[in-house]
Chain A
Amino acid sequence: MFTGCGGGECCVRLRTHGLNVHPFPKESWTMIEAHGLTKRYGKRTAVDGITFTVQPGQVTGFLGPNGAGKSTTMRMILGLDRPTAGQVLVNGRPYDQHRAPLREVGALLDAKAVHPARSAAKHLSVLAATHGIRRSRVQEVMAMTGITEVARKRVKGFSLGMGQRLSIAAALLGDPKTFIFDEPVNGLDPEGVQWVRNLARHLASEGRAVFLSSHLMSEMSQTADHLIVIGRGRIIADAPVSEILAQGQDRTLLRSDRTDLIQAGLAAEGIAFREVEPGQLEVTGAEPRRIAWIAREQDALIHELVPVRATLEEAYMELTRDDVEYRSAVLAGAGEGTR
């Protein structure tokens, strides 16, 4: 039987993350627990038996290419889609069995999931009414998200960014301990992206769990503490961002007039390299000092030596290389588009 965190394994794991002080009671330490979660649509398996947990006090990035199963997983967490198999608990229970669901989880799944003819304030009032949330709270969340000025306007005329802010206001309404954001920065201008990033970090710093999906690694590197990487419905990686970063290999770029000599020296040492252009090499698996020594032994002068840190982007590409569902036409050699 799969139960909530009873102070067992998951709490131990939490301590290893260095989070001993926590504002929320012990029994709700693990905010989201998925166990063997599976969703099939006919023959197609969208989510394939994934197991993971989302912890409080940090931003957990949910990363994967389009069509990897991120949205489906998030919809299952909220009970919108029923799992074909497995189970997912939020704060110890299935989402729909909470007395006050909006106070448990704040979700942004689809910024367009609003009736366009209703005003922003009325939309929030509807949601507040379902839980008897005080009216002043509606004003509060509108102020927090900066939509007070358009409160009485119909949602129909909202820009994508405004719609996104309204959805985030809705998520904040119940002051929940857990947040689920599906591609929250999609279509936002740089200022909006920065704002969402700060919000996610801030919510996590208050001890809340933030589960945030994106198909962009660069986004995650700036926001997330922990990453769950998904591809073709399966979890490829589940580790702290630093650990995933370490999987990407550091490289060194060098320029020399005698790259031929250096190539011979590197080959003799069994070090991998690649000629980027005449006079420039990219070396992997050796630090700059060693490369410089090899060049010296070969009597070749190096006039540029630049260490290149692996980016999260590259680590991600490495991880998902075999799991991208829709390759670009060029890579797949097919005549159709990416989808």
Chain B
Amino acid sequence: MSTTTAPTGRRAAAANRRDQETGLTFLRAVHAEWIKLTSLRSSYVILSITLLGMIGVGLLSTLAVVDMASGFAAHSGAVEGGAEQQGMVAEFGMMARDIPASGIAIAQFLIASLAVMQVGSEYGTRMITTTLTAVPRRGTAILAKTLVIAGTSFVVGTVAALISYVVAQPMLEPQGLNYEVTADGVIPSILNAGTYLALVAILGLGIGALLRNSAGGIMATLGLLIVAPIVLAILSGQNELFMDISRYLPSSAGTQMVAIRTQPEALTQTEGGLAMLAWAAAALAGAIVTVKRRDA
């Protein structure tokens, strides 16, 4: 049997010294969570679909804008260079700027599911016992997970939005609708696409930790993202109050975050971001408190 746990000699002394420096830190817990995320095929699958899905939605939005703009140019009876035509072209120009971040509409569901699974699958496979034995400081364990999934989601969202921007430009050019990345509101919109997905990830992770179950967590998170707005839309016919609440739901807040321009009655980009931040913070705080309090 070979259970020799330390080599001998000078190398052993060096190894021992290195071993003395080992210990649990937050950054190491983050590193471990990064290995966890990148060592599962499902992560790559979901993140790839998210990236491609966002670019795909951007592409469809581009086609729609180009189609509308060319249709308008061909059939409009407006005088060329007239006020009406200029107004419409400006309108199409604004729509074109919404293209880069348009993919979040689909990406949010994928990111939410992935985030729920980060913690839900640990409970499902009982891996959580191993995790909490290695990282018994539970706040550290949850925060490390949060940082990894939120950071990854931010990068994927931002990169996908940026690619959508680049892909759209040559298609917009014939209509004269192309624009610089530095144009008003474009960079904030691209960055906010990433930020929104990061916050959705935190929301999903929090709900996953609260429910300790992947399937239930995904249902609850998607319910909040998809079903809640529909229910509130129906109810808002009964009472104005529901319309007001509806504005603060994650999906509406996210739409406002990446918007190039906002309607006066809607939330501004910053307000949308704060509303979303509040959702994410509440879910994360709830997750940390319950994970700390409950038996693993």
Q: Do A and B bind each other?
A: yes
A contact set with B: CB distance below 8 Å: 75, 78-82, 95-96, 99-103, 107, 109-110, 112-119, 122, 125-127, 129-134, 140, 143-144, 170, 172, 174-175, 195, 198-199, 202-203, 206
Q: A79-B136, A131-B22 are in contact. Are A113 and B129 (CB under 8 A)?
A: yes
Contact B125 A202 (CB under 8 A): no
Provide the residues of chain A in CB contact with B39, threshold 8 Å.
118-119, 122, 125-126
B183 within 8 A of A: no
Contact check: which of B3, B6, B122, B296 meets A202 at CB < 8 Å? B3
Contact A114 B130 (CB under 8 A): yes
B29 within 8 A of A: yes
Provide the residues of chain B in CB contact with A119, threshold 8 Å.
39
Identify which of B30-38, B171-179, B248-256 touches chain A.
Answer: B30-38
Contact A202 B1 (CB under 8 A): yes
Q: A109-B133, A113-B126, A130-B28 are in contact. Are A199 and B1 (CB under 8 A)?
A: yes
Which B-chain residue is minimally distant from A95 (CB atoms)? Answer: B136
B contact set with A: CB distance below 8 Å: 1-6, 15, 18-19, 21-25, 28-29, 31-32, 35-36, 39-42, 121-122, 125-130, 132-137, 295-296
Contact B25 A132 (CB under 8 A): yes
CB distance from B13 to the nearest CB of A (A): 14
CB distance from B48 to the nearest CB of A (A): 16
Q: A81-B296, A100-B22, A101-B24 are in contact. Are A170 and B130 (CB under 8 A)?
A: yes
Provide the residues of chain B in CB contact with A116, threshold 8 Å.
125
Contact A175 B6 (CB under 8 A): yes
Interface centre among B39, B41, B130, B296 (most CB of A within 10 A): B130
Contact A114 B127 (CB under 8 A): yes
Q: How far is the CA of A174 from the CA of B5 in the complex (A)?
A: 10
Contact A101 B134 (CB under 8 A): yes
Provide the residues of chain B in CB contact with A96, threshold 8 Å.
136-137
Contact B2 A144 (CB under 8 A): yes
Contact A125 B125 (CB under 8 A): no
Q: A117-B41, A126-B35, A144-B2 are in contact. Are A80 and B125 (CB under 8 A)?
A: no
Q: How far is the CA of A82 from the CA of B125 in the complex (A)?
A: 21
Provide the residues of chain B in CB contact with A107, threshold 8 Å.
133
Q: How far is the CA of A82 from the CA of B138 in the complex (A)?
A: 13
Contact A126 B136 (CB under 8 A): no
Provide the residues of chain B in CB contact with A103, threshold 8 Å.
19, 22-23
Contact check: which of B5, B32, B41, B133 meets A172 at CB < 8 Å? B5
Contact check: which of B2, B121, B125, B134 meets A131 at CB < 8 Å? B134
Which A-chain residue is minimally distant from B41 (CB atoms)? Answer: A117
Provide the residues of chain A in CB contact with B29, threshold 8 Å.
130
CB distance from A117 to the nearest CB of B (A): 5
Provide the residues of chain A in CB contact with B4, threshold 8 Å.
144
Provide the residues of chain B in CB contact with A82, threshold 8 Å.
295
Q: A115-B40, A127-B32, A129-B31 are in contact. Are A203 and B3 (CB under 8 A)?
A: yes
Which A-chain residue is minimally distant from B27 (CB atoms)? Answer: A132
Contact A132 B23 (CB under 8 A): yes
Q: How far is the CA of A126 from the CA of B148 in the complex (A)?
A: 14
Contacts A112-B126, A113-B129, A144-B5 known; 7 new A-B pairs at CB < 8 A: A99-B23, A101-B134, A130-B32, A131-B134, A175-B19, A198-B1, A203-B3
Q: How far is the CA of A114 from the CA of B121 in the complex (A)?
A: 10
Q: How far is the CA of A206 from the CA of B126 in the complex (A)?
A: 31
Contact A100 B3 (CB under 8 A): no
Q: How far is the CA of A149 from the CA of B137 in the complex (A)?
A: 33
Contact A129 B35 (CB under 8 A): yes
Q: How far is the CA of A199 from the CA of B3 in the complex (A)?
A: 7
Contact B295 A102 (CB under 8 A): no
Contact A115 B127 (CB under 8 A): yes
User: What are 29 A-B pairs at a CB distance below 8 A?
Assistant: A81-B295, A81-B296, A96-B137, A100-B22, A102-B24, A102-B134, A109-B129, A109-B133, A113-B127, A113-B128, A114-B125, A114-B127, A115-B40, A117-B42, A126-B35, A127-B32, A130-B31, A131-B22, A131-B134, A132-B22, A134-B15, A134-B22, A140-B5, A143-B2, A172-B3, A174-B22, A175-B6, A199-B3, A202-B1
Contact A132 B28 (CB under 8 A): yes
**What 8 A-B pairs are tightest by C-beta distance, nearest first?**
A96-B136, A122-B39, A100-B23, A129-B32, A81-B295, A80-B296, A113-B126, A130-B32
CB distance from B175 to the nearest CB of A (A): 47
Contact A130 B24 (CB under 8 A): yes
